[in-house]
Structure formats: structure tokens, C-alpha cells
Amino acid sequence: MILTHNIRRAIKFSIKTHEVYQKQKRKGKDVAFITHPLSVGLILSLAGADENEIIAGILHDTIEDSIPEKKVTKEMLAERFGEKTANLVQSVTELDKSVPWDIRKREMIESIGSYSRSSLLVKSADIVSNMSELIDDYKRWGEEVFERFYASKEKLIGHYLEAIDCILSRWEENPLKSDLIWIKDELKAIK
């Protein structure tokens, strides 16, 4: 079975966290946020990820983006999906969104140096999902796309280029390597 019981449970959990409890949208768009974690799960599935990696991809923003009244914790994920999946989600999570953008992104880049292959794969799928959407939006709407973000165009693109370089330097055989290289080339053309 490809669509396992646990993957179905992760989809329901992610939908509750992002859609039911907060009607979360993609930055600056009238598109349900849930499309992103589901896209990450699909990308991971197509890349040959295992069940824990796919589940972690579907859940990767639940800790970071849950609301205080329905706060998702690593412990909650461990109870429902196992310690391995919870650790994987935690590894790619920005834990304190009150920290300034520059510092959070610097810490994330530094943490890539200690990522496991599974963490690198989930982070790669997250970048592929986010940046392919940004590239498509840029081709449609141009520079105004960057008004949606907390950082300037230069900082945002610079961050993602650095993250891609860090991931590729850590794992040459990454199954998403060609996607990351395509995104890197597209971002350089926008820059």
C-alpha cells in the first residue's frame, strides 16, 4: 500500500493544523496553505522517500505554524507518528519566530551542517515547493511578488541560494539535486 494509514493520518493532522484551526493562506495569495505541505509530501514521495520522510514533509510546518490555542509540539507528533518522524519535523523547524528574520535564516543555514540525510531530503522538498511556486508567481506578477515577504528580494533569494548550496555540498546524491539546480539557476536569473 502506498497511501498508508499513517500518511492518511498525517494529511488529516496537517489539514486540521493549517486549514481547520486557522484558515492559513500562502503569503499574499488566496490559496490555502495546506497546498504547501501536501506538495512537499508529494515531492518526497516522487523522490523515493520512505514513509517517515513523507509524513515529516506533510507535517513539517505544524510545529512552526500552529496557533497558541492548538499548539503542536514535538511530543504530540512523537505520540501520534513516532519519535523518528517527530525528530525529523523538529530538525527542519524554526522554533522561535519572534527572532528577527536574518538571525532565524542564519541559524537554519548553520543547522544544515548537522542535518541527517532524511532532514536534507525534507528540507530539499520544502525548498523545491516554496521556490518553484515563487518562480511561477514571479513569471506571472513580476517584482510585486517580493512585497509578500519580510525580507528584501536580495536577502530572500540570497538565503535560498545559500541553503541550496549547503544542501548540495552535504549530499551530492540527493534525489532532488536536479530540481535544486534548476531552482538555483532560475533564482539567479531573477536576482
The pTM is what? 0.96
CA dihedral (144, 66, 180, 168) positive or negative: positive
Domain for residue 96, yes or no? no
Q: What's the pLDDT score for residue 97?
A: 81
Output the pLDDT for position 83: 98
Place of cell 530572500: 156
What Cα–Cα distance (Å) separates residue 138 from each residue in 17, 18, 20? 28, 25, 29
Q: How confident is the model at residue 183 (pLDDT cuts 50, 70, 90)?
A: very high
162 in catalytic set? no
Query: What's the pLDDT score for residue 2?
Result: 87
Mean pLDDT across the stretch 15-42? Answer: 95
pLDDT digits (tens, 9 = 90+) for 101-133: 999 999 999 999 999 999 999 999 999 999 999
Pairwise CA distance, residues 87 & 154, whole Å: 32
Rounded to an integer, the average pLDDT of 135-161 is 96
Q: Which residues contact 129 (CB under 8 A, 6 or more apart)?
A: 36, 39, 40, 43
What pLDDT shows up at residue 161?
98
The verdict on 146 and 166 lying in the same domain is yes
Banded pLDDT at 15 (limits 50, 70, 90): very high
Question: E strand or H helix at 151, and its extent?
Answer: none
Q: Tell me how far apart the alpha carbons of residues 154 and 150 are, in angstroms, rounded to a whole number.
A: 12
pLDDT at residue 1, as a whole number: 65
Task: Single out the catalytic residue among 51, 53, 61, 65.
Answer: 65
pLDDT above 70: percentage of residues in the chain: 99
How many structural domains compose the chain? Answer: 2
User: Do the domain assignments include residue 82?
Assistant: yes
Alpha-carbon gap, residue 27 to 22, rounded angstroms: 14
Rg, Å, the chain Cα set: 16
* 136 given a catalytic annotation: no
Identify the domain containing residue 75 by its residue range.
5-91
Q: What is the CATH number of the domain that holds 81?
A: 1.10.3210.10
> In which band, very low, low, confident or very high, does the pLDDT at 96 lie, cut at 50, 70 and 90?
confident
